[in-house]
Amino acid sequence: MPGENDDMRPATAMILGLMLGIAALSSLAEAQTSLDKMFNTLKDVTGKSAGSSPGAANVTEGLKEALRVGTDKAVSRTGKTDGFFSNPLIKIVTPEQFQSIEKGLRLAGYGSTVDEFVLSMNRAAEAAAPQAKQIFVNAITSMSFADANQILQGGDTAATDFFKEKTSQDLYSAFRPVVDSNLDKLGTVQKYNNLVGQAKKMPFMKSQNLDVGNYVTNKALDGLFRMVAEEEKSIRTNPAARVTPLLKQVFGN
């Protein structure tokens, strides 16, 4: 009857209101739980309470900016004339198994040819290094908060280790054609073969088979990662290396 329905409407509205209120409180509780989890994660990352440290998004963006700055510097330092050759940390020298032959060749008057061979390997690596820039950018762009968290909690080269894992294959594929092209222009393989040919004429000298392109490419990657590691350590430990406001905010905390 109409009268009975009218009497029931306030009670029904109250019940619906209570149900919506409970649902809202439940959602709020879930949201608070998620927020607490995020703050706890942030606390783990920074070693401080969330209230006194940058937000999670800032931490992630700060790390990405640090990696952009560090990798840009590493690529710039290696991808120029003498970037490898004049840096004793990463200069490409003759392979270990060739060094006993190298001594004999130098004694026999072929030192200048050995020097040309070494220089040409380093020039090929320097030419290839700029190929790394976009590959590093892609790895940084795709980095998740979990990746950032792991890097921040890791050691002084945690980011470098991340790059090695994520980019080594792509870097090799990008570097090798550039290395081979420059080795061909510089006559590096021919220089090596000539040296080996001279070594064969010497007593007790064994011939050395070497894939020069593979050797130079791997050494170029080793050198590049070495410089990335140096930049990473600098940003973590040296305030002067934090060249942007976001880096100062995140790593300063």
pLDDT digits (tens, 9 = 90+) for 122-140: 999 999 999 999 999 999 9
Least confident of 1-15, 57-71, 139-153: 1-15
98 pLDDT above the threshold of 80: yes
pLDDT at 67 (0 to 100): 87
CA dihedral sign, ordered 146, 143, 43, 228: positive
Distance, CA of 89 to CA of 208 (rounded, Å): 26
pLDDT at 249 (0 to 100): 66
Percent pLDDT > 90 in the chain is 45
- Per-chain mean pLDDT for the chain: 78
pLDDT at 201 (0 to 100): 80
Q: Which residue has the higher pLDDT, 36 or 211?
A: 211
pLDDT at 179 (0 to 100): 98
Distance, CA of 216 to CA of 180 (rounded, Å): 9
* Chain centre distance of CA 137: 9
Contact 220, 128 (CB under 8 A): yes
pLDDT at 180 (0 to 100): 97
Compute CA distances 245 → 140, 232, 239, whole Å. Answer: 19, 17, 11
Token code pair at residue 194? 């000539």
Compute CA distances 182 → 1, 60, 162, 216, whole Å. Answer: 95, 38, 29, 11
Which residue, 181, 141, 144, 139, is CA-closest to 163?
Answer: 139
Contacts of 228 (CB under 8 A, 6+ apart): 70, 71, 74, 159, 160, 163
Each residue's pLDDT tens digit, 131-169: 999 999 999 999 888 888 888 888 888 999 999 999 999
Q: Which residue has the tokens 């792991």?
A: 150
Question: Helix count (H) and strand count (E) of the chain?
Answer: 10, 0
97 pLDDT above the threshold of 90: no
* Chain centre distance of CA 211: 26
37 pLDDT above the threshold of 50: no
The CA-based angle 192-196-199, given to 5 degrees, is: 140
16 pLDDT above the threshold of 60: no
pTM above 0.75, yes or no: no
Distance, CA of 118 to CA of 88 (rounded, Å): 13
Which residue, 172, 156, 155, is CA-closest to 164?
Answer: 172
Mean pLDDT across the stretch 67-96?
Answer: 95
